[in-house]
Amino acid sequence: MADKKARLTIDGLDEVIELSVYSGTEGPDVIDVRPLTGLGLFTYDPGFVSTAACESRITYIDGDKGILLHGGYPIEQLAENSDYLEVCFLLLNGELPTPEEKDLFVSTVKRHTMIHQQMTNFFNGFRRDAHPMAIMVGVVGALSAFYHDSLDIDDPHHREVCAFRLIAKMPTIAAMCYKYSIGQPFQYPRNDLDYADNFLHMMFGTPCEAYEANPILAKAMDRIFLLHADHEQNASTSTVRLAGSSGANPFACIASGVAALWGPAHGGANEAVLQMLEEIGDEANIPEFIKRAKDPDDSFRLMGFGHRVYRNFDPRAKVMKQTCDEVLAELGIENDPLLKIAKRLEQIALEDEYFVQRKLYPNVDFYSGIILKAIGIPTNMFTVIFALSRTIGWIANWSEFHSSPNKIGRPRQLYIGPSKRDFPK
Cα 301 to the center of its chain, rounded Å? 22
**Torsion over CA: 26, 31, 37, 42 (sign):** negative
Strand partners, 8: 17
In order, the DSSP letters of 300-364 are ---TTBS-SS-SS--HHHHHHHHHHHHHHHHHT-TT-HHHHHHHHHHHHHHH-HHHHHTT--B-H
User: What is the crossing angle of helices 156-182 and 84-93, to 10°?
Assistant: 150
Q: Is residue 307 among the annotated active site residues? A: yes
Which of 307, 325, 352, 402 is catalytic? The answer is 307
Distance CA 105, CA 398 (A): 19
∠398-407-145 over CA atoms, to 5°? 45
CA dihedral angle for residue 98, residue 103, residue 104, residue 105, rounded to 10 degrees: 80
Q: Considering 230, 314, 365, 402, which one is annotated as catalytic?
A: 365
Check if 365 is active-site.
yes
Q: Which residues are catalytic?
A: 307, 365
